Structure 1
Amino acid sequence: MLRNLGTTCIASVTDMAVGYPQALVRRVGHPVMWTGGLIGMLDRRLNTPDATPARRRANGFVASVLIVSVPTATAILVDRAIHRILPQWLALPLTAVLASSLVAQRSLHDHVKAVALQAQDSLPAARRAVSHIVGRDPEQLDEAGVLRAATETLAENFSDGIVAPLLWMAVGGLPGAVFYKSVNTADSMIGHRTPRHEAFGYAAAKLDDLVNLPASRLSALWIILAALTLKGMHARDAVRILRRDARHHRSPNAGWPEAAMAGALGVRLSGPRAYNGVSVAEPWVGDGRSGLLPADLHRALALYRRACLIQTLAGVTATALLARISAMTSRQTKRWVTADRFPR
């Protein structure tokens, strides 16, 4: 457990500082891209048009098992090899650097900041920027709609792109983070309620809901604590909106960080939107103004940065406490062994 926490802290700081270099993406790709290739292959082979809905659902369950087990087993082998071959002082940071590729603190921040900067100058440019991080049709969004979409994405991806992989990393080290990222990638690719994937992606979507449940609650806590430490934020409203609106969200998990952020910023998020030209009447989250400005997205980014910092500090504190407890336990055990071996 102590090794996992150490890995998590180093991975968090590494991603926060440098992220995943684009040069590396161009040369070897990204772990999510590798998993995506496996998912695409299974989707083509097991999700055939002539299969019945029942067969598609069964095949989707088999695909989900393979999507999770193959990358996780590979990560277990890599993790064991590193820690057997290399000394601990080198194995731990190397494993953490590898694991940092599964966290998206810097990447998410940079993508959302690009929307905020473009919105200050050009609506078409802001629409293009937000199209990289949301699934809805950006051409139907006005400036406020673009800014709401970016803020919602920031809140939701704080949970499933940062808090969740780090939480699973703390539980299972590099393999734990790979397990989570495999589940989350499967949901993003085949977990949609479309004619092609409603049956085949059922298992992936349900598994993603389950593994994201603890992180979504924890992410809301980090946002509330961040609001307490920043001037102009509303921590009490974050708690109030969280208790009132989170359960009404279309997602059992995304509503938690989104409601906390809406309350902290004093704005309304979610609401009606369009996916692929189809209008969806989603309920509003929050009771502030829905007409967001670029300054509101910059405030959301400040809240996000502070929440990331609080999470990292919490991880470092937990690691230090566990290390101290482990050292005290080890010394006590040695005293007991010595007393038994050399009785007075």
Structure 2
Amino acid sequence: MLRNLGITCIASVTDMAVGYPQALVRRVGHPVMWIGGLIGMLDRRLNTPDTTPARRRANGFVASVLIVSVPTATAMLVDRAIRRILPRWLALPLTAVLASSLVAQRSLHDHVEAVAIQAHDSLPAARRAVSHIVGRDPEQLDKAGVLRAATETLAENFSDGIVAPLLWMAAGGLPGAVFYKSVNTADSMIGHRTPRHAAFGYAAAKLDDLVNLPASRLSALWIILAALTLKGMSARDALRILWRDARHHRSPNAGWPEAAMAGALGIRLSGPRAYNGISVAEPWVGDGPAALRPADLHRALALYRRACLLQTVAGFSAVGMLARHLFARRR
């Protein structure tokens, strides 16, 4: 347990400081890209147009097992090899650096910040920036819609891209984080309610809902605690909106960090939107204005940074307390 917590803390700091270098992406790709290649191959082979819906759903369960087991088993072998070959003082930080590639603190911040910067001067540029991080049609978004989409993505991916992988890393080390990332990537690629993936992606979507349940609640807690430490933000309203609106969200998990962030910032999120030209009537989350300004997104980023910092501090505190407890027992 102490080793996993140590890996988690070092991975969090490493990602926060340097992220995943783009030069490395160009040379060898990214773990999510490798997992995505496996998912794409299974999708092409097991989800053919001539397959019946019942067979597609069954094939989707088989695909989900393979999507999770192959990367996780590979991570277990890598982790075991590192521990056998290298001394402990070197094995742990190396494993943590590898695990940091599965966390997205820095990349999420940079992508959302790019939207905020572009929104000051150019709506088309802001739309292009937000298109990299949302699934909805950016051409149908006005300036406020672009800013809401970026804020919602920041809240949701704080849970999916940061809290959840770190939580599973703390539970299972590098294999635990790879397990989670495999599930989450499968949901993002095939867990859609489209004619092609409604049946085939059913298992992936349900599994993602399950594994994200603890992290979504924890992410809301970090946002509320972060709001307590920042001027002009309301932890009380974050808790109130969370209690009132989180359960009405289309997702059983995304509504938690989204509602907490909307309440803390005093803004309104979610609402009607369009995916691939199809309008979706989503309920609003929050009480404040829906006409967001770039300053609101900058405030959301400040709240996000503070929440990430609190989580990292809590992780190091847990390591310290557990280490002291184990040391006391040995004495």
When normalised by structure 1's length, the TM-score is 0.94
- Residues 245-284 of structure 1 show CA distances to partners (whole Å, capped at 9, x for unaligned) of 0000000000000000000000000000000111000000
Runs ≥4 residues deviating over 3 A: none
Give 1:48 deviation, angstroms.
1.0
Distance (whole Å) between structure 2 residues aligned to residue 210 and residue 216 of structure 1: 10
- Residues 98-130 of structure 1 show CA distances to partners (whole Å, capped at 9, x for unaligned) of 000000000000000000000001000000000
Distance (whole Å) between structure 1 residues aligned to residue 141 and residue 175 of structure 2: 40
- Residues 194-225 of structure 1 show CA distances to partners (whole Å, capped at 9, x for unaligned) of 00000000000000000000000000000000
Q: Which residue of 1 aligns with 2:327?
A: none
Give 1:138 deviation, angstroms.
0.4
Distance (whole Å) between structure 2 residues aligned to residue 274 and residue 50 of structure 1: 29
Distance (whole Å) between structure 2 residues aligned to residue 173 and residue 316 of structure 1: 15
Distance (whole Å) between structure 1 residues aligned to residue 149 and residue 250 of structure 2: 15
- Tell me, what secondary structure is at the counterpart of 1:274? strand
Distance (whole Å) between structure 2 residues aligned to residue 43 and residue 277 of structure 1: 24
- Tell me, what secondary structure is at the counterpart of 1:232? coil
Distance (whole Å) between structure 1 residues aligned to residue 274 and residue 59 of structure 2: 30
When normalised by structure 2's length, the TM-score is 0.98
Q: Which residue of 2 aligns with 1:341?
A: none
Distance (whole Å) between structure 1 residues aligned to residue 69 and residue 165 of structure 2: 16
Give 1:51 deviation, angstroms.
1.0
Distance (whole Å) between structure 2 residues aligned to residue 135 and residue 77 of structure 1: 35
Q: Which residue of 2 aligns with 1:328?
A: none
Q: CA RMSD in A?
A: 1.1
Q: Which residue of 1 aligns with 2:93?
A: 93
- Structure 2 gaps, min length 5: 325-330
- Tell me, what secondary structure is at the counterpart of 2:279? strand
- Structure 1 gaps, min length 5: 325-343
Give 1:173 deviation, angstroms.
0.1
Distance (whole Å) between structure 2 residues aligned to residue 131 and residue 286 of structure 1: 24
- Residues 72-105 of structure 1 show CA distances to partners (whole Å, capped at 9, x for unaligned) of 0000000000011100100000000000000000
Q: Which residue of 2 aligns with 1:336?
A: none
- Residues 121-145 of structure 1 show CA distances to partners (whole Å, capped at 9, x for unaligned) of 1000000000000000000100000
Distance (whole Å) between structure 1 residues aligned to residue 108 and residue 161 of structure 2: 8
- Residues 160-197 of structure 1 show CA distances to partners (whole Å, capped at 9, x for unaligned) of 00000000000000000000000000000000000000
- Tell me, what secondary structure is at the counterpart of 2:102? coil
Distance (whole Å) between structure 2 residues aligned to residue 148 and residue 51 of structure 1: 39
Which structure: larger Rg?
Answer: 1
Give 1:287 deviation, angstroms.
0.7
- Aligned residue pairs total 325
Q: Which residue of 2 aligns with 1:183?
A: 183
Distance (whole Å) between structure 2 residues aligned to residue 199 and residue 189 of structure 1: 13
- Residues 290-310 of structure 1 show CA distances to partners (whole Å, capped at 9, x for unaligned) of 000000000000000000000
Distance (whole Å) between structure 2 residues aligned to residue 104 and residue 218 of structure 1: 17
Distance (whole Å) between structure 1 residues aligned to residue 128 and residue 48 of structure 2: 33
Distance (whole Å) between structure 2 residues aligned to residue 165 and residue 66 of structure 1: 19
